[in-house]
A and B are shown apart, each in its own frame.
Chain A
Amino acid sequence: MIKPLRKGSIVALSFLSLFFVSSCNPFSPGGNPKAFRVNLGTEPPSLDWSLATDHVSFNVIANLMVGLTEFDKSLRPAPVIAKSWDILEGGKRIVFHLRDDVTWSDGKKVRAQDFEYSWKRLLNPKTASEYAYILFDILNAKEYHEGKIGDEALLGVQAKDDSTLEVKLKHPASYFVSITTFEVTYPQRQDIVEKFGTKWTEPGNIVTNGPFLLASWQHENEIQLSANPNFFLGKPAVEKVQMFMINEKTTALAMYEQGQLDFIDNHSIPILEKQRLSKLPGFQRVPQLRGYYYGFVIDRKPFDDVRVRKAFSMAIDRSVFPKVLHGGEQPASCWIPPGMLAHDSRIGLTHNPPEARRLLREAGYPDGKGFPPVTLGYNTDEDHKIVAEAAQGMWKRNLGVLVRLENQEWKVYLKKLQTEPPHVFRLGWGADYPDPDNFMKLFTALSGNNNTHWKNPRYDQLLELAAKEFNGKKRVKIYDEAQKILCETDLPIIPLFTTAESTVLNPRFAGLEYSPMGRLMLRHVRPSRTEDGR
């Protein structure tokens, strides 16, 4: 007969084993509780501002560095290292005059030569920077990048002395000063980059000039910044910033609610939690300079007929999108986003189902009868699916047309846009620098980002005129005309909405600025008055 084992001994063995597992602790205790803690979401791919291309990297760089200018509240370039600039020769030559009290973190002075080096490095074919094209307006820049010109001395950027930077352009470009707000144009130290090679951005090697210093960088885990005591605009109020890399939004939100994070944004807020969080103190929605649109491939039937494109646009009630996405999106019928020069919400086609049906009937598809099968493509993502299903429903209801939805993994989708695009496709566009030129250029005939195959010489001509125009009012007028062609007359795209960032700042802190360009600016973060007892 089988003798039963004592159950207790087995249970004890289990607990003993579990205790062994749980008692292993290879770590040191957590960090300084006084630090300001944010979630980056992911590892920044690069802190080399000649190579960085993404928001996460730029959010770190924007707190480590400053450049010639930064955009002010009205999104115009304001002086930072450049105390002033002269626009000469009808806009073909710009001379920046630099402050002489700005220093690098190793105590050396920031000089015009540091800008010259950085810009030439950005354009150097060997650097292979994705953003090299941002400086192609500079004389000989494109030719140098293409390797047609080998001598970098021929480039139209030159430090005349330590505090004077001269830029010669191929053609007048009224938006060029705005480009200097972009991080890729920040200065670099040739000695540091050449000494450490690809490792120059590591803590201990990197030399910066901004409000914070890079104290540590544990890859895939955490970046620590410390306040720069010698920052020329004053030392930041918080001594230390911890930037975590938590991918999962639910986890990041749990950490905020546990008091382990002081600020969260869309990287850390699940879509379904946005409404609940909007009631929290410190919640803010920050409109972004980022447009969301559907494009038509206009050389394919049935969207080669502008009446069909207009009908599709007028069948959409854009006010639906903020209701289904809960992210504070702003419905848009024009392309230039709110807050940017030349934005005009009166431009564009608005929701008008009877007119949409009339146009479709006129195009030969009464109540959608005989309409060929068409596909709306988008990259796989829950938000894009919600938007696509809402649009599909409205087209069916208002036009009687059933549009097939097709989603693909991001890179496959991008490839397909080039090889066999769907009839209607989803894309978005975020501003690199806050000037309408950056948005409007997207749809010129030569733009590599114009997936619609639409061309209009008048539109291209207007953009060239706007680039040469330095009078703000006249520029607005030119862009108005261009926007009307894009969003009313020819309509190769349907602008749907501009996005917003949902943010929550721990009420213990104040002063955080989340810019319309999606930058997390920590320079003015300070303990709130109640917290520091004032």
Chain B
Amino acid sequence: MTRFLLTRLFHGLTVLWVVVTLTFVLMRVTPGGPFDRERRLPPEVLANIAAKYHLDEPWLKQYARYLNGIFRGDLGPSYKYLDRGVSDIVAETFPVSALLGIFALVFALAFSFPVGICAAYYHSSWTDRWCLLIATLGISLPHFILGALLIWLFSIQLGWLQAGRWEGFTSVVLPTVTLGAAPAAYLSYLLRSTLLETLAEDFIRTARAKGLRESAVLLKHALNNSLIPTLTVLGPLFAALITGSFVVEYIFAIPGMGRFFITAVTDRDYPLIMGVTLVYTVILVCANLLVDLFYSLVDPRIKSY
């Protein structure tokens, strides 16, 4: 177990280093700099700004400075949000994205399990077709369409829920559903197809022949043996959901971290790009590690360590 964890830690750190290095290089080769403005700055002003943020140093030195900062837990200053450091920004916005992501994940699981099970169990019936239709809609509708539709219906027409901001129950429902819809639909599909395969296995026939209750056959034997693919996608899905979504946060004015994956790039806010990428990578690596550990719990034939 210890060896397994150490190996995974080493792999994780390697992934982290590769991501940090690639992001660092990609940012610098992208045309346009953080202080390019419509109102072009005089050279002496630009020189002082470059000196303040060490942008006048060779790339290698900047890279070493950045790595050194990471080891000290300092993600550097933001070039756009001048009163705050990247660590402050991440610390303030990540919890909001994480909470919304967890809501969306719970929604996705709460939706996908009943729908996936129903669709597989009543295969080729009307129930299956309805479940598939809902799931297809969930996958095909992009966030910005679904979000706008939900705002139009529940905020403007019915006046039940708040159109935007993050300040109470009525403001949480619409972004949760918008963010959770696609994962819910995808997980439903996945569960349905794996359950269909499992239900055709010999051991299910044996269980039924032994007179087990249908609910026990389905929920214990079939479902347990169909969870591996779902667990596999849950790791990256979890990382993606809790680090925020640009579109959902943008539409619903959620003060989360997701927007920075886009805005930090358009602003060329190098430290902020690095910061959010780093957080995302750490969470992704940890989530995948957890999934690996869960494999062996779900299926004892798989031994991760």
Contact = CB atoms under 8 A, between A and B. Distances in A.
Interface string B23-63: 00000001111011111111111011101110000000000
Given A14-B114, A24-B103, A246 B253 contact: yes
Given A258-B156, A409-B266, A48 B83 contact: yes
A88 to B, nearest CB: 28
Nearest to B253: A246
Contact of A448 (B43, B155, B176, B267): B43
A461 interface: no
B4 interface: no
Contacts of A218: 255
A245 B163 CA distance: 13
B115 interface: yes
Given A128-B49, A414-B38, A11 B33 contact: no
B31 A415 contact: yes
A254 B110 contact: no
Nearest to B121: A5
A24 B169 CA distance: 8
Chain A interface size, under 10 / 10 to 19 / 20 to 34 / 35 or more? 35 or more
A20 B148 contact: no
A457 interface: no
Interface string B82-94: 1111000100110
B42 A414 contact: no
B294 interface: no
Interface stretch (A27-35, A305-313, A389-397): A27-35
| Highest count of chain B CB atoms <10 Å: which of A129, A130, A427 | A130
B163 A251 contact: yes
Contact of B268 (A18, A24, A222, A411): A411
A278 interface: no
A5 B103 contact: no
Contact of A18 (B110, B151, B172, B255): B110
Contact of B164 (A198, A255, A414): A255
A11 B114 contact: yes
Interface stretch (A39-47, A162-170, A296-304): A39-47
A14 B115 contact: yes
Interface string B144-164: 000010010001100100111
Contacts of A423: none
B118 A132 contact: no
A14 B151 contact: no
A72 B67 CA distance: 52
A10 B52 CA distance: 61
A134 B35 CA distance: 17
A132 B103 contact: no
19 contacts: A2-B208, A7-B127, A11-B114, A17-B110, A17-B113, A22-B173, A24-B103, A46-B82, A126-B48, A128-B45, A130-B49, A133-B41, A219-B255, A220-B259, A247-B253, A248-B251, A413-B32, A448-B40, A448-B41
Interface of A: 2-5, 7, 10-11, 13-14, 17-18, 20-22, 24-30, 43, 45-48, 51-53, 125-126, 128-130, 132-133, 136, 142, 145-146, 198-199, 201-202, 218-222, 244-248, 250-252, 254-255, 257-258, 260, 409-416, 427-429, 448-449
Given A130-B49, A255-B164, 18 more contacts: A5-B214, A10-B117, A17-B109, A18-B107, A27-B166, A47-B83, A126-B48, A128-B45, A136-B42, A145-B45, A146-B47, A198-B83, A221-B166, A244-B253, A245-B255, A251-B164, A412-B32, A448-B43
Query: Which 5 A-B pairs rank lowest in CB-CB distance, beginning with the nearest?
Result: A411-B32, A17-B110, A220-B255, A254-B163, A128-B52
